Structures are given as structure tokens and as C-alpha cells.
Structure 1
Amino acid sequence: MAMGVADVAADLVWYLAWGVAGLLLVVAVWLFYFVWWKPRRLERALRAQGLDGTPYRFLQGDLEESARLDRQVQAKPMSLSHNIIPRVYPFALRAMSRYGKTSFTWVGPVPEVTIADVGLVRQLLLNMPNDIEKPQLNPLGQFFFRGMFIYEGEKWAKHKRIMNPTFHMEKLKQMLPSFRTCCNDLMSKWENTVVGSGTSYELDVWPELQAYALNVISTAALGTSFEEGRRVHQIQVQQLMHFVQAGQAINIPGSVFLPTEAKKRIKALNREVGELVRSIIKKRQEEIKSGKASNDNLLGLLLESNMKGSQEDGLTIEDVIEECKLFYFAGQETTAVLLTWTMILLSMHPEWQVRAREEVLRVFGQNKPDFDGLNRLKIVTMILHEVLRLYPPLTYLPRHTYKTIKLGDVTYPPGVLLRMPILFLNHDPEIWGEDASEFNPERFAQGVSNACKNHQMGFFSFGGGPRICIGQHFGLIEAKMLFSTILQRFSFELSPSYAHAPHIVMTLVPQYGAPLMFRRL
């Protein structure tokens, strides 16, 4: 009997050993496929059609070399020039110089084709939006970027349809009092700091404008308080730091499931910010039911869809939470970046600050800016578009092939990243002329569609096609309101401590902040 039990135990150990060995073999084959065979197959397919690029390096691709060049250029600031590509994208610039405008590099084991031909970019965005999709490179991104930012197909279309009315001009006009209140709060703070006409005072506007943009998102778009929005944003900043660090690491297939401390922290932060937003939503639901709040902002429309729509047509509470989280970050960050670079560039080019101030005083005098007047600000609008061209908050548009597509003369198989380099296109002399890297708002005097030298549409700072930025008018009205108010009250110039150092932390930000010298008018 004892011998029989021993035989059974031995058999179980033997079967278990073979099972483990079989599992390890499957994992090994799977890894071999994803980190060697598939990359080499895709590389051969691209080279066979005449594309050139960096050779595939096992597992890491070009991540290490790209990070090395980034560290090198970020070690010191650059000159006061708008030729920022060598500092912002040294590796991509070198690759395009060697291999051409349409060439490929490697994000780990995934080939990334840079498409810097404006005609091909237009074709992708306008004519082929359903043939490509947003990439899902880092699975941890689901804990940070969701909502319309990553949705595809019918789900994306439904969310856009529900959210679109928030950004119609009539809705934006109703939000103007909230914009004005946020402006006045910031101006009161600055006026208490910059005491006395003619007195000069240094102020780092980068954190100031981040707080302003967050205040606008919280009060005008979501109908909450600044303090509630600030708590959400503080957690999102921590999420961003972890997300960027994770994105710099080599993404081995399946590694996301490993329970590292960093991943545990990211998930914990996601739960925390989710609960904060859920409490904001619950409070707003109670206010709507009691008649104390309306649905004239983004959160109101999202909740109206949840309460009145069917499961097919409306949004779930989880959908509402994800859209609010996305708008808290994306709406705040991109607008703050635009505002900051505009103040820096108006400091670098004081003649345009003078022209903008003259226009604001001509339209408003010392009166509060109104909606109709903001829409008549031609020079201010030209300046904002030129800043967006030279310093776009989002410097490239990524897409991913999930099926075989034909673009130009090249057929791309599934599994290829397509990178549309907005910053390169915005600085391309073939599109904008020989002064492409110079600050010249006059190029937008006849509007965006007539600004390019050789192309009807070469301005992609808001994206393009069906997925063009839904909040672009919201951001521009917000910016015009703030700059009109600032120009009425202050003049400003670069501080001696300012160091010109644009770099990427998801968006294009000033590495050392934006210290400016202010004077009361």
C-alpha cells in the first residue's frame, strides 16, 4: 500500500515536471516570436519596399540610444532660438537625416515608421481614420489615458457625439463668466505681488498657468471647485511620473503582469483618483436631481446621458469617470503649455506683445473682455496659432496598423507603429517657407488654411480628421480671455534667470520653468 502511494506521488512529480517544462517551452517560443522572429519579419517587409531605417537590436531596439541622446541634450539649456527640434528630438532628427522623411526606428521590438510627408499625413488622418488605431504599447496606460483618447470605432463615436455639444459656441459663451472669474482670481494674485506701477517683479508663470488652467477645467467644464480639481490633478501628476518611467523601460511582452512595486503604486493611484472623481460625480448627481445644478457643462451633459440614455446610447458611470479623468489632465495640461509658451514668446518678441496689447485696448479698452470681442481679436489669434505651430503641446500623433494598409507606395503589415511628427511638420521649410523656425504670426493673417506656402493644410497642432481635438475652441477662448486680461494690466519680459529648454514630459514643457519679469501698467 505504501509502495502504491509512493508510485502515485512519483508519477505526480513526473507529470508536474513535464507540465512545467512544457509551460516554459511555450513561454520561450512566445517570447522568441515577439522579440526576434516578428521584428525581423516586419523589418524585412519594410526594407523590401524601399524603406530604410535603423537595424533591429534585440529586445531594446533604439530605446537605449534615444535615451542617451535625450540625456545629453537635456544636460544644458539651448540658445534663445525656435529651432528646437535638435533638443527635443535628437534621435528622431538623426534618424530622419540618415534614412529619409519616411523611415523607421524601433520602440523595443516594435518598428515605428516616421511619416513626415504632409500629403501622406493628410491621407492617414482624413481618408484612413478607420484603417488605423491608437497604439496600445504600454498596458499600464489603461490606468492613466482612457476615454475618447484611446477609444475606437462605435464607442469613440458615441462618446464624441455626447460630448460635442459642450464645445459649441453657444455653450462656450455661457461658460465665459466662469473663465472671467478664474482670470480675475489670477490677476488679483499677481496684482498683490507686483505692487506699484513701474515696479519689476520676477514670477515663474509655468506653475501659475497650470493652476489657472486647472481652475477653468474644474469650474467651467466640470462645475466643481478648484480644490477638488487640485486633489485630482496632484494624483495625476504622480501617475504621470510613474507612467513616463514605465514608458522608458523595455516592454517585454507579458511583463505588465509582473507584480512590481511601481505597478502596484500606479494601480493604487488609479483607484484613488477614481474614487475622488466618483465622489465629485455623486455630488453633482444630487445637485441635478434637486434642481441646484444644470447640465450646461461637460459633466452635466455626461450625466444627462447616463441618466436618460439607454445602455446602448448613454454612458455608464464608469465611462463618465474616465472622461472626467481624461479632461482633468488633457484639458489642463495642453492649455497650460500653450499659455506658458505664448508668454515666453511674447517676452522674446516684445514688438508682438505691443501689437497684441494695442489690439486688446482697441477692442476692450479697460473693460472686461466679452465673447464677441474675443472673436474679433485677429492679432492675438495669429499669435496663438504661431505659438502652437512652433511649440505644439503634443509633438507627434501615433497610430498603429491592426491590418494591412496601403499608404503611398508602401504596404504596411499589421503590427507597425506610424508616427506623424507634428513638430517636424510644423518646422518644415518645404511647408512653411525658409522662415519656418522663426516666430512670424503674420503667416496666419489669412487664417490657418492659407498659412502654408505650398500646402492647403499643413497645420496639425490640433490633430486632424475626425479625431481633431474636441476642445480646441474651448482652449483658444480660454487663452484669449486670459491674455486680454494680462495685456490690459501688465507688461512682461524674460527674466535673467530664464533658461530656454523645451523638452518632452508627455507634452512640450519648459524644463526649467518660465520665470518672467512683470511690470504693472
Structure 2
Amino acid sequence: MQESPKKKAFFFLILLLSSATFLGNFPWLTLLLLLFLGVSLFLFNTLWLQPQILRWKIQRQGIKGPKPSLLYGNAPEMHKIQAASMKASSYAGEFVAHDYTSTLFPYFEQWRKQYGCIYTYSTGNKQHLYVNKAELVKEMNQKSSMELGKPSYVTKRLSPMLGNGLLRSNGHMWALQRKIIAPEFFMDKVKHHVNLMLESAELLARKWDEAIEAQGGEMAEIAVDEDLRSFSADVISRACFGSSYSKGKQIFSKLRNLQAILSSQSYLFGLAALGFLPQRKHKGIASLEMEIDTLIWEAVKKKEASSAEKDLLQCILEAAINDESMDENSSRKFTVDNCKNLYFAGHEATATAASWCLMLLALHPEWQSRIREETNQLCPNGQLDAESITKMKMVTMVIQEVLRLYPPAAFISREALQETHIGHIHVPKGVCVWTLIPTLHRDPDLWGQDAHEFKPERFANGISNACKMPQVFIPFGVGPRLCVGRNLAMVELKAAVSLIVSKFSFSLSPKYKHSPAFRMIVSPGKGVRIVIQRLKK
């Protein structure tokens, strides 16, 4: 039976008090000793006792995991496993292997094979619980946001990028923000934006037409990533903020630069052991954060002064102004933080999903043909519209399969804000729970032996019939914190893919290098390059 950490702490305290009693006749030494005692107890409690208590509570339930070091937990081992994996692995030429988890997150895969689908590990003084069991993920769906919230240490690391907006906040602030933002993404409102999505996609198609003409008039090689980012940025800007991408170009560019810096400082295990101390920021982060905040606020004030039709930006601003708990500075931060969240989530994640979609369709031209046939049936005049987009089954199946194999968000991360249970597991307050989405999405026991293959037909009868437990299909998250923009993202992807496939046929360029990379989201590390050919009318 493992000895309780509290007993060890008690003996340590007795030893220190005995020393203080012995030196009681020496006031200065006593003062120094008491100061040393206070600091020692604080460090002892923060770095060893509390993490050890949490680990002990988890381990006594029969949950095992790798042994941590004193100050850094399992972070050094994670770095070591990652370095060995990067050295040993390489994505080979034209071969496209869809299972990238063992390359991007080799420590999670190694421990999963060693300890099973549930294990515990630590980074610094944070204790984590890895859960990749379908029944327990289903249970997580049913937990309130007051029980499982966003991990505080991740929020701290990503605050320059996302602030305390909807994606990272907890409690009252999260509930207020969701109440404001979620209704703007209900399907009845999203349908009103389909025409502007198609207009943005037409701009992209015209650009590719010009590239074909410039490269001889037959075909062209295109690096799609930046064009898809421009398309997605244009949609989110016009739909939510009443402006075009050209006006928000500086904001998007600086957000991408900030994303690159934050991604290089991995928040999965790159934490200092003294995580309770303020961390010195990368020299570029503070200036980028200030520039982004200033640009967004200038756009907000310009919008406030105009008499244009009310949009999401104005809804956020009004809510901030009308909330009695906020002063002027709080209102500004509330507005700016949520704009950053919407710019990032509505732009980068959707553009990345579109890139993966074109990569997989380039590999599987038969699905281009199926989408094209359905488009011709629904739009005999060749003009896509809101009604036809919402009826397209083939493109919906393709997008769902793309999101299964390449979900932009790799993890569901939660922190127990109070003592709670996930199935049979007691989760102590303060423990962070992690679920690796790609592993669930490729589990042969749930999806069949072809789980690693691109087969959109598995979604022919909807998500509920695609696998044994549909609750594990979670490209947009789980439970109360399900992504509010999922309707917009799905319709936007359908509009872009349908229009592109209706105008072009395409295949993968010989220059394409399959290299998924984790940069806050899983994106094509070296971009997606395709060879396009204009379809004959």
C-alpha cells in the first residue's frame, strides 16, 4: 500500500518545527529560519505535496502512468520521445499515411500502448489524466461547463492569441459570451450568408483561372493554402464583422505570426516547473499582441460610428457596454478578445480543413466525379445557391470523412473545476483531462478495419450510423462547449468545395510532401499543392 503524501508532509513539517524550536534563543537566525520555512513550505506544497496528492488519488483507483521527475514531471521524457520520433520518422514522397498521431504525439501513443486507454502523467506541477475510451468520452459530453472547464495553464499560455474570449474562458464569463455569440451561428442565420460564401469562392476560382492562363492555358500548379485562408478570412470578415478580407488583412497576418511563435513554445509539455510564477514572454509576442488589439479596436470604433446593418461585432460590443460588471477597459478587452477568437477559429481552422479536403479529393478523383454529378442534378443551370448547397449529400459525406481523418483540433482538453466523476473514474479538482481526437476517430473497434482509409461512404446514412458510438465523432468538440461556429464552418466548406469541384478537376502535385504538423491545430506542414485543370463547359 502506497504511503499517503499527507503523512510524508506531516513528518517533514515536524522536522522543520523542531529546528525552529532549537534555534529559538537566536532571534535573527529564527527570523531567517522562519522565512526559509515559509518559502520551503510554499514550494514544497506547490511543487511536490499537491501534485503528489492528486497523483495518489488517481493511482489508488488503479490508474497507472509513467513515473515523473521532481520538478518537471514527465516533460523531459516527452521531449526525449518526441526528439527520437522526429529523428526516426519521415513522410515518404507520394505515399500518404493518414495516421499521424505516432509522429506528432508519440509520447501519448507510447504510453497508451504501455498503460492502456486511461493513464496519468504530469508536466511540472500539473497532473493530467489521459482518457481515450469511447464510453468515458460519451460521459464527458454530459458534464456541465462548471464541472469541466478549459485548463487554466493552457489559457495562460494562449492568452496573447485568444485572451479570455469564448474559446478559453470559464464560468460566468464563458456563459455570457456563449449567450451572445451562439445565436449568430444558428442555421437559419448561416443560410443567409451562403451567397457571400459563393461570391468569395468565385473570387478564388477566378484567381485560379488566371493562373491557368498564365501557365499556358491548359493546367496550373497551385499552392492552395494561402488562397483558402484568404477565402475563409473573407467569409468570416463579411459574415461576422461586415467587412472584406482586404480590410482585415493586417489582423489575420499578425494573428498567424503570433500563432507561429506560440506553436514553437509547445503548451503540451513546454512548461516551467515553477508554473505559478509569471513567465517572461517571447520578445515578439507582446508587441504583436498590442498591434493586433489596437487594429481590432480601431475596426470596432469605426464600425460603432457607422450606421451599417447590425452584425456580430455590434452584438458583442453592446453586450460589453450593457454589462454592469464591466468598466471601460473590461468592455474593450471583452470585445477585442472575442474578435480574436472569431478571427482565429472562423478563419484558420476552416481554411485548414478545406486544404485537407482538397488534398484527399486530389487523391480520390472518383469522389470529385460524384460531387460533380450531384451538383449537376441539383443545379442544372450551373448556378449554385443556398438551397442546393444545403441539399448536397456527397460533399457532406466527403467533408465529414475529412474531419474524421484530419480534425483541425487534435485534443479535447478540460480541467476539473470541482471534484467530479467521468464514468467510474473520480477526477480530483485541478486535474486536467486530455482526449486525443484522431485516435478516437481511427479506432478500428468503432469504425471498422478500414478506419485508416478515406471512405466517405461510411457517412451515407449519417453520423449516427457511421460507427458503433457516434458520440466519439468530435471534430467540433464535445458537450456544452461544442464549437458555436460548426454550422458556419460546414456550410462554408460545402460552398467552397462544391464550387471548386464544379469548375476544376485536380490531382496532387508531384511536389506535394505529406507532413501533418501541430501548430495549435493540425495543418499541412509543407502546404498542399495540386495540379488543376479547367473543366469543359
- TM-score, normalised via structure 2 length: 0.87
Cα distance between partner residues in 1 of 2:381 and 2:533: 17
Q: Is the 8 A contact 2:146 2:417 kept in 1?
A: no
Q: Is the 8 A contact 1:61 1:108 kept in 2?
A: yes
- Give the superposition deviation at 1:90: 1.4
Question: Which residue in 2 is equivalent to 1:131?
Answer: 147
Q: Is the 8 A contact 2:124 2:275 kept in 1?
A: no
Cα distance between partner residues in 2 of 1:447 and 1:242: 39
Amino acid at match of 1:429: P
Question: Which residue in 2 is equivalent to 1:339?
Answer: 354
SS at match of 2:476: coil
Amino acid at match of 1:461: P
Cα distance between partner residues in 2 of 1:480 and 1:141: 30
Q: Is the 8 A contact 2:136 2:422 kept in 1?
A: yes
Change (3 A) 1:469 1:489: same
TM-superposition CA deviations, 1:156-182 (whole Å, max 9, x none) = 222112112211233222222321221
- Give the superposition deviation at 1:51: 0.4
Question: Which residue in 2 is equivalent to 1:237?
Answer: 256
Residue 45 (structure 2) aligned to one of 33, 38, 53: 33
Question: Which residue in 2 is equivalent to 1:215?
Answer: 234
Amino acid at match of 2:271: I
Amino acid at match of 2:192: Q
**Structure 1 position 270 matched with structure 2 position 317:** no
SS at match of 2:463: coil
Cα distance between partner residues in 1 of 2:187 and 2:319: 20
Change (3 A) 1:270 1:28: farther
Question: Which residue in 1 is equivalent to 2:436?
Answer: 421
- Give the superposition deviation at 1:241: 2.8
Question: Which residue in 1 is equivalent to 2:324?
Answer: 311
- Give the superposition deviation at 1:304: 4.1
Structure 1 stretch 439-448 or stretch 145-154: which is displaced more?
A: 145-154
Structure 1 stretch 408-417 or stretch 17-26: which is displaced more?
A: 17-26
Change (3 A) 1:433 1:268: same
Residue 358 (structure 1) aligned to one of 373, 382, 386: 373
SS at match of 2:119: strand
**Structure 1 position 497 matched with structure 2 position 511:** yes
Question: Which residue in 1 is equivalent to 2:71?
Answer: 59
Cα distance between partner residues in 1 of 2:136 and 2:276: 35
SS at match of 2:434: strand
Question: Which residue in 2 is equivalent to 1:171?
Answer: 189
Cα distance between partner residues in 2 of 1:44 and 1:254: 21
Which aligned pairs between 1:389-408 and structure 2 lie closer than 5 A?
389-408=404-423
- Give the superposition deviation at 1:23: 5.0
Which aligned pairs between 1:474-489 and structure 2 lie closer than 5 A?
474-489=488-503
TM-superposition CA deviations, 1:119-160 (whole Å, max 9, x none) = 111211223443121101142422222311122223222211
Structure 1 stretch 328-337 or stretch 147-156: which is displaced more?
A: 147-156
**Structure 1 position 440 matched with structure 2 position 458:** no
Structure 1 stretch 344-353 or stretch 233-242: which is displaced more?
A: 233-242
Q: Is the 8 A contact 1:40 1:56 kept in 2?
A: no
Change (3 A) 1:50 1:191: same
Structure 1 stretch 385-394 or stretch 357-366: which is displaced more?
A: 357-366
- Give the superposition deviation at 1:335: 0.1
- Give the superposition deviation at 1:336: 0.9
Which aligned pairs between 1:63-212 and structure 2 lie closer than 5 A?
63-74=75-86, 76-78=90-92, 79-138=95-154, 139-145=156-162, 146-195=164-213, 199-212=218-231
TM-superposition CA deviations, 1:317-336 (whole Å, max 9, x none) = 33121110111111111101
Cα distance between partner residues in 2 of 1:310 and 1:243: 32
**Structure 1 position 378 matched with structure 2 position 393:** yes
Residue 251 (structure 1) aligned to one of 272, 277, 295: 272
SS at match of 1:446: coil
- Give the superposition deviation at 1:256: 4.8
Amino acid at match of 1:450: N
- Give the superposition deviation at 1:93: 0.7
Change (3 A) 1:255 1:413: closer
Change (3 A) 1:87 1:52: same
Change (3 A) 1:16 1:486: farther
- Give the superposition deviation at 1:377: 0.3
Amino acid at match of 1:83: D
- Give the superposition deviation at 1:198: 7.4
Change (3 A) 1:17 1:346: farther
- Give the superposition deviation at 1:476: 0.9
Residue 247 (structure 2) aligned to one of 214, 223, 228: 228
Cα distance between partner residues in 2 of 1:385 and 1:376: 15
Percentage of pairs with the same residue: 29
Which aligned pairs between 1:441-520 and structure 2 lie closer than 5 A?
441-452=456-467, 454-520=468-534
Amino acid at match of 2:272: N
SS at match of 1:392: coil
Q: Is the 8 A contact 2:137 2:472 kept in 1?
A: no
SS at match of 1:369: coil
Q: CA RMSD in A?
A: 2.5
Change (3 A) 1:487 1:120: same
- Give the superposition deviation at 1:312: 6.2
Change (3 A) 1:73 1:356: farther
Amino acid at match of 2:515: A
Amino acid at match of 2:533: R
Amino acid at match of 2:49: W
Cα distance between partner residues in 2 of 1:441 and 1:23: 65
SS at match of 2:461: coil
Structure 1 stretch 176-185 or stretch 317-326: which is displaced more?
A: 176-185
SS at match of 1:113: strand
